Amino acid sequence: MVGEETSDEERAELRETLGLMDPIHVQFTRFIINASQGEFGISYQLRRPVSELIVERLPATIELVVISALIALVSGTLLGVYTGINRKGFLSDIILAVSLLGVSLPTFVIGILFIYLFAVILGVLPSFGRGEVVDLGFWTTGFLTISGLKAIILPSVTLSLFQMTYIIRLVRAEMMEILQTDYIKFARARGIDEKSIKYKHALKNGLIPVITIAGINIGTLIAFSIITETVFQWPGMGFLFIQAVQFVDIPIMSAYLVFIAFVFVMINFIVDILYYFIDPRIRVKGDVASG
Protein backbone atom coordinates (compact mmCIF):
# COMPACT_ATOMS: atom_id res chain seq x y z
CA MET A 1 0.00 0.00 0.00
CA VAL A 2 2.84 2.33 0.69
CA GLY A 3 5.81 3.29 -1.45
CA GLU A 4 9.53 3.02 -0.72
CA GLU A 5 9.79 6.60 0.51
CA THR A 6 7.05 6.53 3.11
CA SER A 7 8.36 7.55 6.46
CA ASP A 8 7.96 5.48 9.62
CA GLU A 9 5.51 8.02 11.08
CA GLU A 10 3.32 7.85 8.01
CA ARG A 11 3.40 4.05 8.11
CA ALA A 12 2.36 4.08 11.76
CA GLU A 13 -0.42 6.52 11.04
CA LEU A 14 -1.75 4.37 8.20
CA ARG A 15 -1.69 1.31 10.44
CA GLU A 16 -3.66 3.27 13.00
CA THR A 17 -6.34 4.44 10.52
CA LEU A 18 -6.72 0.93 9.11
CA GLY A 19 -7.09 -0.34 12.65
CA LEU A 20 -4.22 -2.81 12.32
CA MET A 21 -2.84 -1.94 15.76
CA ASP A 22 -5.94 -3.13 17.62
CA PRO A 23 -5.91 -6.55 19.30
CA ILE A 24 -7.04 -9.41 17.10
CA HIS A 25 -10.43 -9.93 18.76
CA VAL A 26 -11.28 -6.24 18.32
CA GLN A 27 -10.33 -6.39 14.66
CA PHE A 28 -12.32 -9.56 14.18
CA THR A 29 -15.43 -8.21 15.89
CA ARG A 30 -15.23 -5.11 13.74
CA PHE A 31 -14.92 -7.31 10.64
CA ILE A 32 -17.99 -9.38 11.61
CA ILE A 33 -20.07 -6.27 12.30
CA ASN A 34 -19.08 -4.63 9.05
CA ALA A 35 -19.36 -7.79 6.98
CA SER A 36 -22.88 -8.44 8.22
CA GLN A 37 -23.79 -5.06 6.79
CA GLY A 38 -22.15 -5.85 3.46
CA GLU A 39 -19.17 -3.61 4.26
CA PHE A 40 -15.80 -5.22 3.63
CA GLY A 41 -13.57 -2.18 3.83
CA ILE A 42 -11.07 -0.89 1.31
CA SER A 43 -8.78 -2.96 -0.87
CA TYR A 44 -5.18 -2.45 0.28
CA GLN A 45 -3.89 -2.81 -3.23
CA LEU A 46 -6.42 -0.91 -5.33
CA ARG A 47 -7.54 1.55 -2.64
CA ARG A 48 -11.18 1.25 -3.61
CA PRO A 49 -14.14 -0.12 -1.63
CA VAL A 50 -14.20 -3.92 -1.95
CA SER A 51 -17.96 -4.10 -2.54
CA GLU A 52 -17.54 -1.84 -5.54
CA LEU A 53 -14.79 -4.07 -6.96
CA ILE A 54 -16.86 -7.21 -6.49
CA VAL A 55 -19.93 -5.73 -8.16
CA GLU A 56 -17.75 -4.61 -11.05
CA ARG A 57 -16.27 -8.08 -11.57
CA LEU A 58 -19.43 -10.05 -10.81
CA PRO A 59 -21.02 -9.99 -14.31
CA ALA A 60 -17.95 -11.55 -15.94
CA THR A 61 -17.90 -14.47 -13.53
CA ILE A 62 -21.66 -15.01 -13.54
CA GLU A 63 -21.79 -15.07 -17.33
CA LEU A 64 -18.92 -17.54 -17.48
CA VAL A 65 -20.44 -19.81 -14.84
CA VAL A 66 -23.96 -19.75 -16.28
CA ILE A 67 -22.74 -20.67 -19.76
CA SER A 68 -20.50 -23.41 -18.36
CA ALA A 69 -23.30 -24.82 -16.24
CA LEU A 70 -25.63 -24.90 -19.25
CA ILE A 71 -23.01 -26.65 -21.38
CA ALA A 72 -22.30 -29.15 -18.61
CA LEU A 73 -25.96 -29.89 -17.86
CA VAL A 74 -27.27 -30.13 -21.40
CA SER A 75 -24.44 -32.07 -22.99
CA GLY A 76 -23.80 -34.08 -19.83
CA THR A 77 -27.42 -35.23 -19.70
CA LEU A 78 -27.62 -35.98 -23.42
CA LEU A 79 -24.39 -37.95 -23.47
CA GLY A 80 -25.30 -39.67 -20.19
CA VAL A 81 -28.65 -40.80 -21.56
CA TYR A 82 -27.00 -41.99 -24.76
CA THR A 83 -24.34 -44.02 -22.97
CA GLY A 84 -26.88 -45.32 -20.46
CA ILE A 85 -29.17 -46.65 -23.17
CA ASN A 86 -26.53 -47.88 -25.63
CA ARG A 87 -24.41 -49.51 -23.03
CA LYS A 88 -22.29 -51.61 -25.33
CA GLY A 89 -22.02 -49.26 -28.32
CA PHE A 90 -18.68 -48.22 -29.77
CA LEU A 91 -19.58 -44.55 -29.45
CA SER A 92 -20.47 -45.02 -25.78
CA ASP A 93 -17.06 -46.49 -25.11
CA ILE A 94 -15.41 -43.51 -26.77
CA ILE A 95 -17.51 -41.01 -24.84
CA LEU A 96 -16.67 -42.74 -21.58
CA ALA A 97 -12.97 -42.92 -22.40
CA VAL A 98 -12.86 -39.23 -23.28
CA SER A 99 -14.84 -38.38 -20.17
CA LEU A 100 -12.20 -40.13 -18.15
CA LEU A 101 -9.66 -37.72 -19.64
CA GLY A 102 -11.90 -34.82 -18.67
CA VAL A 103 -11.89 -35.95 -15.04
CA SER A 104 -8.20 -36.65 -14.82
CA LEU A 105 -6.67 -33.69 -16.64
CA PRO A 106 -6.50 -30.54 -14.53
CA THR A 107 -8.44 -27.54 -15.79
CA PHE A 108 -5.43 -25.37 -16.46
CA VAL A 109 -3.83 -28.00 -18.70
CA ILE A 110 -6.99 -28.29 -20.76
CA GLY A 111 -7.24 -24.49 -20.90
CA ILE A 112 -3.68 -24.13 -22.13
CA LEU A 113 -4.18 -26.91 -24.70
CA PHE A 114 -7.30 -25.13 -25.97
CA ILE A 115 -5.47 -21.83 -26.24
CA TYR A 116 -2.65 -23.50 -28.11
CA LEU A 117 -5.01 -25.25 -30.52
CA PHE A 118 -7.72 -22.66 -31.19
CA ALA A 119 -5.89 -19.37 -30.63
CA VAL A 120 -2.30 -20.08 -31.61
CA ILE A 121 -2.51 -22.74 -34.33
CA LEU A 122 -5.97 -22.20 -35.79
CA GLY A 123 -6.27 -18.57 -34.73
CA VAL A 124 -10.08 -18.67 -34.70
CA LEU A 125 -10.78 -17.71 -31.11
CA PRO A 126 -9.21 -15.13 -28.81
CA SER A 127 -6.81 -16.45 -26.20
CA PHE A 128 -7.65 -14.07 -23.38
CA GLY A 129 -10.05 -11.42 -22.09
CA ARG A 130 -13.78 -10.88 -22.50
CA GLY A 131 -13.74 -9.13 -25.86
CA GLU A 132 -15.92 -6.06 -26.29
CA VAL A 133 -18.50 -5.61 -23.57
CA VAL A 134 -21.66 -3.56 -23.51
CA ASP A 135 -22.39 -1.62 -20.35
CA LEU A 136 -26.05 -1.80 -19.37
CA GLY A 137 -25.54 0.43 -16.36
CA PHE A 138 -25.92 -2.21 -13.67
CA TRP A 139 -24.36 -5.02 -15.66
CA THR A 140 -21.65 -5.37 -18.29
CA THR A 141 -22.34 -8.13 -20.79
CA GLY A 142 -20.27 -9.83 -23.46
CA PHE A 143 -23.30 -11.51 -25.00
CA LEU A 144 -24.17 -8.62 -27.31
CA THR A 145 -21.00 -8.43 -29.33
CA ILE A 146 -19.41 -10.97 -31.69
CA SER A 147 -16.03 -10.69 -30.01
CA GLY A 148 -17.64 -11.09 -26.60
CA LEU A 149 -19.41 -14.28 -27.67
CA LYS A 150 -16.26 -15.62 -29.27
CA ALA A 151 -14.25 -14.86 -26.15
CA ILE A 152 -16.54 -16.84 -23.83
CA ILE A 153 -16.37 -20.10 -25.82
CA LEU A 154 -12.95 -21.36 -24.71
CA PRO A 155 -13.14 -20.49 -21.02
CA SER A 156 -16.69 -21.78 -20.59
CA VAL A 157 -15.98 -25.08 -22.34
CA THR A 158 -12.81 -25.51 -20.28
CA LEU A 159 -14.67 -24.81 -17.07
CA SER A 160 -17.60 -27.10 -17.94
CA LEU A 161 -15.58 -30.17 -18.90
CA PHE A 162 -15.05 -31.48 -15.41
CA GLN A 163 -18.70 -31.06 -14.39
CA MET A 164 -19.87 -32.47 -17.71
CA THR A 165 -18.01 -35.74 -17.25
CA TYR A 166 -19.38 -35.92 -13.76
CA ILE A 167 -22.94 -35.52 -14.99
CA ILE A 168 -22.42 -37.99 -17.85
CA ARG A 169 -21.42 -40.69 -15.42
CA LEU A 170 -24.18 -39.87 -12.97
CA VAL A 171 -26.93 -39.83 -15.60
CA ARG A 172 -25.58 -43.02 -17.14
CA ALA A 173 -25.58 -44.84 -13.82
CA GLU A 174 -29.08 -43.57 -13.01
CA MET A 175 -30.48 -44.57 -16.40
CA MET A 176 -28.96 -48.02 -16.18
CA GLU A 177 -30.39 -48.53 -12.73
CA ILE A 178 -33.83 -47.20 -13.54
CA LEU A 179 -34.15 -49.25 -16.72
CA GLN A 180 -33.85 -52.32 -14.48
CA THR A 181 -36.62 -51.30 -12.08
CA ASP A 182 -39.96 -53.02 -11.77
CA TYR A 183 -41.96 -50.06 -13.00
CA ILE A 184 -40.02 -49.98 -16.26
CA LYS A 185 -40.56 -53.70 -16.65
CA PHE A 186 -44.24 -53.23 -15.91
CA ALA A 187 -44.43 -50.42 -18.47
CA ARG A 188 -42.86 -52.75 -21.04
CA ALA A 189 -45.34 -55.47 -20.11
CA ARG A 190 -48.15 -53.00 -20.81
CA GLY A 191 -46.79 -52.46 -24.31
CA ILE A 192 -45.77 -48.81 -23.80
CA ASP A 193 -43.35 -47.99 -26.61
CA GLU A 194 -39.65 -47.86 -25.98
CA LYS A 195 -39.30 -44.14 -26.68
CA SER A 196 -41.78 -43.21 -24.01
CA ILE A 197 -40.25 -45.69 -21.58
CA LYS A 198 -36.78 -44.25 -21.99
CA TYR A 199 -37.47 -40.54 -22.24
CA LYS A 200 -40.67 -40.13 -20.26
CA HIS A 201 -40.61 -42.85 -17.63
CA ALA A 202 -36.90 -43.39 -17.07
CA LEU A 203 -35.28 -40.03 -17.77
CA LYS A 204 -37.66 -38.06 -15.58
CA ASN A 205 -36.82 -40.27 -12.63
CA GLY A 206 -33.15 -40.22 -13.49
CA LEU A 207 -32.93 -36.44 -13.41
CA ILE A 208 -33.92 -36.12 -9.76
CA PRO A 209 -30.44 -36.81 -8.33
CA VAL A 210 -28.84 -34.87 -11.16
CA ILE A 211 -30.51 -31.73 -9.87
CA THR A 212 -28.95 -32.16 -6.46
CA ILE A 213 -25.50 -32.68 -7.89
CA ALA A 214 -25.91 -29.87 -10.40
CA GLY A 215 -26.91 -27.49 -7.63
CA ILE A 216 -23.82 -28.23 -5.61
CA ASN A 217 -21.70 -28.13 -8.72
CA ILE A 218 -22.71 -24.63 -9.73
CA GLY A 219 -21.09 -23.51 -6.51
CA THR A 220 -18.04 -25.57 -7.39
CA LEU A 221 -17.98 -24.00 -10.84
CA ILE A 222 -17.64 -20.56 -9.28
CA ALA A 223 -14.83 -21.83 -7.11
CA PHE A 224 -13.09 -23.58 -10.02
CA SER A 225 -13.43 -20.47 -12.13
CA ILE A 226 -10.44 -19.02 -10.26
CA ILE A 227 -8.10 -21.20 -12.31
CA THR A 228 -9.94 -20.83 -15.59
CA GLU A 229 -10.15 -17.07 -15.19
CA THR A 230 -6.44 -16.91 -14.51
CA VAL A 231 -5.54 -19.02 -17.53
CA PHE A 232 -7.75 -16.94 -19.83
CA GLN A 233 -7.13 -13.58 -18.10
CA TRP A 234 -10.89 -13.38 -17.65
CA PRO A 235 -11.68 -10.21 -15.72
CA GLY A 236 -13.95 -11.88 -13.19
CA MET A 237 -13.94 -12.31 -9.42
CA GLY A 238 -11.64 -15.32 -9.48
CA PHE A 239 -8.98 -13.37 -11.29
CA LEU A 240 -9.44 -10.56 -8.80
CA PHE A 241 -9.04 -13.07 -6.00
CA ILE A 242 -5.77 -14.51 -7.36
CA GLN A 243 -4.34 -11.00 -7.63
CA ALA A 244 -5.49 -10.28 -4.11
CA VAL A 245 -3.72 -13.40 -2.84
CA GLN A 246 -0.46 -12.24 -4.36
CA PHE A 247 -0.70 -8.90 -2.57
CA VAL A 248 -2.14 -10.28 0.68
CA ASP A 249 -5.16 -8.08 0.07
CA ILE A 250 -7.20 -9.50 2.93
CA PRO A 251 -10.39 -7.40 2.52
CA ILE A 252 -10.87 -8.69 -1.03
CA MET A 253 -10.14 -12.27 -0.07
CA SER A 254 -12.55 -12.26 2.85
CA ALA A 255 -15.28 -10.59 0.82
CA TYR A 256 -14.82 -13.11 -1.98
CA LEU A 257 -14.98 -16.09 0.38
CA VAL A 258 -18.06 -14.76 2.17
CA PHE A 259 -19.71 -14.19 -1.18
CA ILE A 260 -18.95 -17.75 -2.37
CA ALA A 261 -20.31 -19.17 0.86
CA PHE A 262 -23.48 -17.14 0.40
CA VAL A 263 -23.89 -18.42 -3.16
CA PHE A 264 -23.45 -22.04 -2.03
CA VAL A 265 -26.13 -21.68 0.60
CA MET A 266 -28.53 -19.91 -1.77
CA ILE A 267 -28.13 -22.51 -4.51
CA ASN A 268 -28.73 -25.39 -2.15
CA PHE A 269 -31.78 -23.62 -0.80
CA ILE A 270 -33.15 -23.20 -4.31
CA VAL A 271 -32.45 -26.88 -5.09
CA ASP A 272 -34.37 -27.94 -2.01
CA ILE A 273 -37.31 -25.87 -3.13
CA LEU A 274 -37.06 -27.29 -6.65
CA TYR A 275 -37.48 -30.78 -5.23
CA TYR A 276 -40.94 -29.84 -4.15
CA PHE A 277 -41.95 -29.30 -7.75
CA ILE A 278 -40.06 -32.23 -9.23
CA ASP A 279 -40.69 -35.08 -6.85
CA PRO A 280 -44.34 -35.65 -5.97
CA ARG A 281 -43.31 -37.92 -3.10
CA ILE A 282 -42.08 -34.87 -1.20
CA ARG A 283 -45.06 -32.72 -2.08
CA VAL A 284 -47.75 -34.64 -0.23
CA LYS A 285 -47.05 -36.08 3.15
CA GLY A 286 -49.12 -38.22 5.45
CA ASP A 287 -51.93 -38.41 2.92
CA VAL A 288 -52.19 -42.14 2.37
CA ALA A 289 -55.57 -43.71 1.94
CA SER A 290 -56.31 -46.82 3.90
CA GLY A 291 -57.31 -50.08 2.33
Partner 1 sequence: MTFLKINNLSVDYQMRKETVYAAKNVNIEVNKGEILGLVGESGSGKSTVGNAIINLIDEPGKVSSGSVVLGDLNIHENSENIFKYRGNKIGLIFQDPQTSLNPILTIGEQLIETIQTHLKLSKKEAKNKSINLLKEVGIKDAEKRFDNYPHQFSGGMRQRVVISLALCCEPELLIADEPTTALDVSIQSQILELIKRLTKERNLAVILITHDMGVIAETTDRVAVMKSGNLVEIGITKEILNNPQNNYTKSLVSSVPPTNKKISRFVIIDNKNKDNKPNNIKILNRWQKREITSQNLVYVENLSKSFDDNFFTENSKNFVMAVDNISFEIKEGETFGLVGESGSGKSTIAKMIVNLFKPSSGDIFFDKVCITKIQQKSELMKFRKQIQMIFQDPYSSLNGRLKVKDIIAEPIKLHNPSISNSELNSYIFDLLESVELIQKSADRYPHEFSGGQRQRISIARALATQPRLLVCDEPTSALDVSIQAQILNLLKDLQEQLNLTILFISHDLPVVRQMCDRIGVLKDGKLCEVSNTENLFLNPQNEYTKELLRLMPKIESIYN
- Residue selected from 28, 143, 186, 276 as contacting partner 1 according to rule CB under 8 A: 186
Count, residues near partner 1 per rule CB under 8 A: 30
**For residues 149 and 146, what is the distance between their CA atoms, to the nearest angstrom?**
5
**Could you count the other beta carbons within 10 Å of the beta carbon of residue 43?**
23
Q: Does 183 bind partner 1 (CB under 8 A)?
A: yes
Residue 205, strand partner residues: none
Smallest gap, in angstroms, from Cβ of residue 273 to partner 1? Answer: 17
Nearer to partner 1, 7 or 290 (CB): 290
Based on CB atoms, which residue is closest to partner 1, 8 or 182?
182
Decide whether 28 or 183 has the Cβ nearer to partner 1. 183
Burial 69-94 (b: 16+ CB within 10 A, else e): bebbbebbbebbbbbbbeeeeeebee
64-123 positions binding partner 1, by CB under 8 A: none
Structure letter (DSSP) for residue 42:
B
Tell me the Cα Rg of the chain. Answer: 24
Position 199 contacts partner 1 (CB under 8 A): no
Instruction: Characterise 286 by phi-psi region: left (phi > 0), alpha (psi -120 to 50), beta (else).
Output: left
Segment 269-288, which members bind partner 1 (CB under 8 A)?
A: 278-281, 284, 286-288
Complex with partner 1: residue 57 or 198, whichever CB lies closer:
198
Q: Go through the chain and tell me how many residues it has.
A: 291
CB of 115 or CB of 210, closer to partner 1: 210
Which amino acid, residue 67?
A: I
Smallest gap from residue 203 Cβ to partner 1 (A): 11
Smallest separation, CB 76 to partner 1 (Å): 21
Task: Give the residue, chosen from 34, 86, 181, 233, that forms a contact with partner 1 under the rule CB under 8 A.
Answer: 181
Least CB distance from residue 254 to partner 1, whole Å?
Answer: 35
Query: Which CB atom, from 72 or from 187, has the smaller least distance to partner 1?
Result: 187
Q: How far is the CB of 90 from partner 1 (least distance, A)?
A: 18
Quick one: which of 85, 95, 159, 187 contacts partner 1 (CB under 8 A)?
Answer: 187
Q: Single out the residue of 24, 189, 195, 246 in contact with partner 1 (rule: CB under 8 A).
A: 189
190 binds partner 1 (CB under 8 A): yes
Q: Please, which residues have CB within 8 angstroms of residue 241's CB and are 6 or more apart in sequence?
A: 226, 252, 253, 256
Rounded Cα distance between 57 and 130, Å, is: 12
Alpha-helical runs (H) found in the chain = 8-18, 24-36, 50-85, 90-104, 107-114, 146-178, 182-189, 194-195, 203-231, 237-246, 250-278, 280-283
For residues 132 and 140, the answer to whether their CB atoms sit within 8 Å is no
Shortest Cβ 206–partner 1 spacing (Å): 10
Minimum distance from residue 191 beta carbon to partner 1 (Å): 3
Q: Which of 23, 123, 137, 191 binds partner 1 (CB under 8 A)?
A: 191
Q: Determine if residue 279 is left, alpha or beta; phi over 0 gives left, psi from -120 to 50 gives alpha, anything else beta.
A: beta
Positions that interact with partner 1 (CB under 8 A): 180-183, 185-193, 196, 200-201, 204-205, 208, 278-281, 284, 286-291
